[in-house]
Each structure stands twice: as C-alpha cells, then as structure tokens.
Structure 1
Amino acid sequence: MFYTDNKLQYPVRVDAPNPLFARALQQAIGGVEGEIRVAMQYFFQACGARGNPKFRDLLMNTAAEELGHIEMLATAVALNLEGAPLSLQEQMAKDAAIGAVMGGINLKNLLSSGLSAMPVDSDGVPFDMSHIYASGNIAADMTANIAAESTGRTLAVRLYNMTDDTGMRDMLQYLIARDTMHQNQWLAALEELGGFAAFPIPNSHPQADEKTEFSYAYLGFQADGSAPVPGRWSDGPSIDGKGKFTAGVLEPSAQVPNLGKAKPNSGAQIEQT
C-alpha cells in the first residue's frame, strides 16, 4: 500500500522558465535512464523478491522514493513550461517564441497535456517498460540496479550542466546525491550476497557442468587470426576468484550450418523444397 501527504520530497524551484529545458527534463522522467524506469524496476523486483525479506523492503522503499522523484521532475517540467506560447500565430513575430516552439519545445507537452509533464522521453516517445529488469535473482537484480543508477546519475549531471537556473541546479544536485546513495546501497546489498564471489550469477548452477575451458577464456575474433589486445581480463585470477583468465584465438568448428530443404506448404520457393 502506498500513501501520499501531497508534499514534494524536495523543494522544486524554477527561477527562469525554459520550455527547451522542460523537454530535456522529460528524459529524466520517461527516458530509458529516467525515474519511471527505476521506480518500476525496483517495484517489480520487490514484488518478486524471495528469501530474506530485508531485500524486498530495500527495493520497495527505494521504488517509493523514485515515485517521489517523478513528482518532482513533473513539477519542474510544468514550471519550466510557464510562459510557453499557446498560439503559434500570436507568437510568430517573437524570435524567442519561434525558437522555443520550432527549435526545442516538445509539442506533446502543449498539445496533449496542456503544458504539463508526460510519461515520455525528450523526443515525446512514451516509456514502454521494455527496460524493466526484474529477474527473480536478487544478485542479478542488484547488478542491473547499479547500472540503472549509474546511467541515471550520468543523465542528471548532463542536465545540471545544461542549465544556469539556480533552482533547477539545486534540485538536480539533490537527485545526483540520491543517485550516489542508490549506487552505494545496491553495491552494499551485492556485498551482503558475497560481492564478487556471488558471480557467476546464478551461483546455483554447478560450474563443473559448464564447458569450463571457456569459462575464463578471453577470445579474439580478429580476421587475421591475431591474438586479442591484452588486459586485466586476459591474464591473472578471475574477478570472482574461481578461475584464471587466459587469452586465445577461437578456432571455428568443422560444422557448416545446413538446415536442409524447406517443408512443403511453408511458403518457400519451389527451389527450396
């Protein structure tokens, strides 16, 4: 169950409304790096979390926080759209308005939501949930969450560098700080699960049953058959501590793919059957 007290998680202030920046902020709401993505990712991970209930609590708590971030950003989008032209014809003589409408403002914010935020990215593309990763494996989910918060923090930093608005910069510094915490909390959760020793994920599959000669081999696929460029990943103990990195060139197998003839009535050409 969720509750609301009708108050923003952190104050949102826009000193100089900017319709172009409103469009940029939409990426932080409905983009693949945005708050809808992480809110839904943590929510569905929590709903499917089995085992120690503290991980479910961690995920659901953070999902609730991310819903608050959506509210903050939606408020910021609406405030940045204050003063945006409602009629193109009335504004044709004003260069600033033409620049805002033709060169930046997301017309969906005008035409579909009346100068309000929408669950879309900066190009007006709706978020479709295709980037929600909830595997049912807690270690895999924590790893995905680290990446999600890393890309989210990168986006917030880019937005911060795009604006000189004092209010917007203050809000973004708050969001950047929360992304710092979330990266660290997912890393801490992964550490409780064994850290690097949790890999390979899932750890429930017996490694002895896999093709172990390929488990820690860095393979090169250069056309001239040369060895791949060396790195930490090609020599020394593996990161999970369960093997030793090697490097080599993969030799193709003798098998040539041959699917045989097409079945009759399959829609193929006569020459295929």
Structure 2
Amino acid sequence: MFYHTKKLQYFRPPEKPDAIYAKKIQELIGGVFGEMTVMMQYLFQGWNCRGPAKYRDMLLDIGTEEIGHVEMLATMIAHLLDKAPIKLQEDGAKDPVVGAVMGGSNTQNVITDIMGAAMNPQHAIVSGLGALPADSVGFPWNGRFIVASGNLLADFRSNLHAESQGRLQAVRMYEMSNDPGVKDTLSFMIARDTMHQNQWEAAIEDLKESGLESTPVPSSFPLELEKREFAYQFWNNSEGTESSEGRWAKGPSPDGKGEFQYVENPQPLGPEPLPPQSDPRLHGTPLNKQAQGSADTLINRTTIGG
C-alpha cells in the first residue's frame, strides 16, 4: 500500500515564471537519468528482491522517496509555467521568428537556432501548463530506461551510476538558473543525490561483506568455465600506450582473483570469417557462379518453408 502525504518533502517556489526553464526541468523528471527512472528502477528492484529483507526495505524506502521528488519537480514546473501563454503573447513582437518574417529572413534557420530557447508547446497544448512524463526535448519517458535484473550487486552498481548522472544533471540545472527559489529547491535535491550515491556505495560494500555477491557479477557462475587466461588482460586496441599507466594495467585485480597484464600488441585469436551461404530462396548475392548454379537447382526442387 502506498500512502500519500499532501506536504512536499521540500519546496521553495520560484520567484518568477520561466517557461523556458520549465522545459529544461523536464529532463530531471522524464530524462534517462531523471527522477521517474530512479523511482521506477528502485521500486521494481525492491518488488523483485528475493534477498535479505533489509535490501528490499531499503529499495522500497528510496523508491518511494523518489516519487516525492517527481512531485516536487512537477510542482516547480507548474509555478514556472504560471501565466506563460499571456507572457508569450506580450513578448510576441520580440520573437525572433516574427522578426525574421517581418524582415524577410530565412525563418527555418532562425527556428533551428532557437529551438532550445523556446517554450515547450506541449506544456500549453497537452498538459495545460503542467509537467509531462517526458524529457527536455519532448521524448516520452520509457520503461526501458530502468534496470532491475534480480542480481543486487549488478543493480546497486547501476543505481550508483544513475545517481551520479542524476546529480550531475541537477548541478548543471542549478548553474543555469538565477532564481533563488529554483536554486534552493535544487540544492535540497542535490544533497539527497549526495546521500544516495553514498548509500549505494555502502550497500555495495554491505552486500559484498555479507558474502552473497562479489566481483565479477554474477559471482555464482563457476570461474573455471571462463577462459581464465584472458580474464585479467588489458588489450591496447588503439594507438599509443598511455593506458599502460593506469591501475587497470598492472598489479592485483580488485576482485583479488587475478593479476592484471598489459598486452601492448593484441593479436587476433580467431580466423578470418567466412560467412555461410544464405538460403538461395532468399535471393542473396552468392559467393560465386557455382554457388548460384546450385541455388537455381535447389529453387527448382523446393519452395521456401517446404
């Protein structure tokens, strides 16, 4: 059961409307690393969790918190869009597209130049000056953005990645605004992202210490079934050898199960590919005329699917 409390986790309204900034805020809601993604990712990971109860409870705690973050941003967008259509009408004479038409300029070029600096028309047409489940360029949020694999170590690493990217985008949005209300609200969300990055670091350590999971993921797969001679080789597959200076190129591997080896000139381990000839009834180009002759004979004898 979910229970909604009417008060927001935290919120300070913007001091003035800004329809263009509202369009940008959409990225923090419905973008790949937006609040809708982490909300659904944590909830599905929790619902699917078959591990210890503390992990399931933690996942559902943070997933539910993220629902509140979506609500905060949706409320922020509503304030930023307040009276937006009226303001746009008042500023219509200043619109560069209008100016281009009146001046006889190429309007297509002007439209291309200002696409990122215009109000999202769907905020007025579709949502009635409300938030949308979409990113800053109008792409709808997609369930394929989320990761919920059933392996907690793989999932927690994905969560750390999501929070790192999410905090990065929130910080960039903070730098794009001069509105004290916006910056104050984002400051709270940035702080929570700091907590969540540390949370996932701690959860990864906790999971490893429990002995349930370890590197490499999945740790349940028998190591003797992989070609161990290649498991810790770093292959230098581009010009230059600067990569040899990294921690990944020498010394013991982080999983404690191998020793890194730097391969400066990796060589192919397989033959040149010779793709098998396609079914002649599909009429692909054959390797040679002899193959074409065999194909004609086969086509005369059989039908595709027969």
* Partner Cα distance (2:276, 2:254) in 1: 43
Pair member with larger Rg: 2
Query: Which 4+ runs in 1 deviate beyond 3 A?
Result: 86-91, 94-99, 269-273
Distance 1:97 1:75, change over 3 A: farther
Within-5 A mapping of 1:152-231: 152-194=166-208, 198-222=214-238, 229-230=243-244, 231=246
Q: Say yes or no: does 1:142 pair with 2:156.
A: yes
Alignment of 1:7-46 (within 5 A): 7-46=7-46
Range that drifts further, 253-262 or 212-221: 253-262
Q: Tell me how far 1:268 sits from its aligned partner.
A: 2.2
1:258 aligns to 2:264 (yes or no):
no
Deviates more, 1:148-157 or 1:238-247: 238-247
**Residues 86, 110 of structure 1: 8 Å contact kept:** no
Which residue number in structure 1 is paired with residue 301 of structure 2? none
State how far apart, in whole Å, the 1-side matches of 2:283 and 2:129 are.
51
Distance 1:96 1:114 in 2: 25
1:63 maps to: 63
1:221 Cα deviation after fit: 1.7
Q: After TM superposition, give the deviation of residue 11 of structure 1 in Å.
A: 2.0
- Aligned 8 A contact 1:40 1:132 in 2: yes
1:31-63 Cα deviation digits (max 9, x unpaired) = 011000000110111111112011111111111
Equivalent position of 2:48 in the other structure: 48
- What does 1:230-241 correspond to in 2, within 5 Å? 230=244, 231-241=246-256
Cα offset for 1:108? 1.1
Letter in 1 for 2:78: A
> Does the C-alpha gap of structure 1 residues 228 and 216 become closer, same or farther in structure 2, counting only changes over 3 Å?
farther
Q: Say whether residues 1:268 and 2:284 are aligned partners.
A: yes
Question: Contact (CA 8 Å) 1:133, 1:141: kept in 2 or not?
Answer: yes
Are 1:23 and 1:122, in contact at CA under 8 Å, matched by a contact in 2? yes
> Which one-letter code corresponds to 1:2 in the other structure?
F
Aligned equivalent of 1:113: 127
1:185 and 1:158 map into 2 onto residues whose CA distance is 22
Give structure 1 stretches of 5+ with no counterpart: none
Cα displacement (A) at 1:266: 2.2
Q: Give the SS at the match of 2:43.
A: helix
For 1:72 and 1:150, locate their aligned partners in 2 and report how far apart those are by CA, in whole Å: 20
Question: How far, CA to CA, are the matches of 1:171 and 1:254 in structure 2?
Answer: 56
Pick which of 193-202 and 230-239 moved more.
193-202
C-alpha distance in 1 between matches for 2:217 and 2:85: 53
In the alignment, is residue 242 of structure 1 matched against residue 257 of structure 2? yes
- What is the CA-CA distance between 1:213 and the residue it aligns to? 1.0
Q: Which has the higher helix share?
A: 2
Residue 74 in 1 paired to residue 74 in 2?
yes
Count of residues paired in the alignment? 270
Distance change (3 Å), C-alpha of 1:222 and 1:88 = closer
The root-mean-square deviation of aligned C-alpha atoms, in Å, is 2.5
CA distance in structure 1 between the partners assigned to 2:24 and 2:89 by the alignment: 25
| Cα distance per residue 1:192-219 (max 9 Å; x no partner) | 1126982111111121221111111101
1:145 Cα deviation from its structure 2 partner = 0.3
* Range with bigger deviation, 176-185 or 101-110: 101-110
Task: Tell me the alpha carbon deviations over residues 201-241 of structure 1, each in whole angstroms, 9 at most, x when there is no partner.
Answer: 11111212211111111011236xx7563111100111122
Residue 228 of structure 1 contacts residue 247 of structure 1 at CA under 8 Å; is this kept in 2?
no
C-alpha distance 87-264 of structure 1, shift in aligned 2 (>3 A)? farther
What secondary structure, in the 3-state scheme, does the structure 2 residue paired with 1:247 have? Answer: strand
List gaps (5 residues or longer) in structure 2: 100-113, 296-306
Q: Comparing 132-141 with 237-246, which one deviates more in the overlay?
A: 237-246
In 1, Cα distance between the equivalents of 2:60 and 2:163? Answer: 16
